[in-house]
Amino acid sequence: MVRHLAQYWNHLAPLNKLVNRLEKLGQRALAPRAAPVRRAAQLHPDKVTELLESYRSGTPSLTLAAEFGINESTVYAHIERSGVDRRPYRKLHGADLERARRLYESGTSLRAVAAEVGCSVSAVHSRLVELGVRMRPRR
């Protein structure tokens, strides 16, 4: 039985075969390849002004990012560089919170409630939990 197991025990053979192939290919096979350099598109100053005006008028930053073909963090970078005050994070409160509670307790899905009151699903969920609303199990 030992003789039969010995034929499967040559675990160095595949490694040696790989080393030989790489040596045949030469050092260039082992050299790391340079990653392509990606450079973000620069917005023209007129576009930056347009972006800032849209932000001031209340357009959400994600909408601006999609509209101008940039990342949301780039939108915020332009806002900070220009000195424009950032809008406060929209917290669900008051009449909107009460409406969200009524909708959810009447059987409306969390996603539909969030769309109705203009907040994220997680914001609606966390505020409803704070109110002591019993959450339905996920389907």
49 and 71 assigned to the same domain = yes
- pLDDT at res. 2: 45
98 and 125 assigned to the same domain = yes
Residue 68 lies in a domain: yes
Instruction: Quickly list DSSP for 55-121.
Output: HHTT--HHHHHHHHTS-HHHHHHHHHHHTPPPPPP----HHHHHHHHHHHHTT--HHHHHHHHTS-H
Residue 51 lies in a domain: yes
Q: Find the domain containing 65 and state its range.
A: 45-82
Domain count for the chain: 2
Q: What is the DSSP letter of 70?
A: S
Instruction: Quickly list DSSP for 6-45.
Output: HTT--THHHHHHHHHHHHHH-GGGTSPPPPPP--PPPPPH
- Going from the first residue of the chain to its last (139 residues), give the mean pLDDT of each consecutive group of 10, the final group possibly shorter: 54 74 68 67 90 88 86 90 83 88 96 86 92 90
Threshold 0.85, pTM exceeds: no
Residue 78 lies in a domain: yes
Residue 139 lies in a domain: no
Residue 4 lies in a domain: no
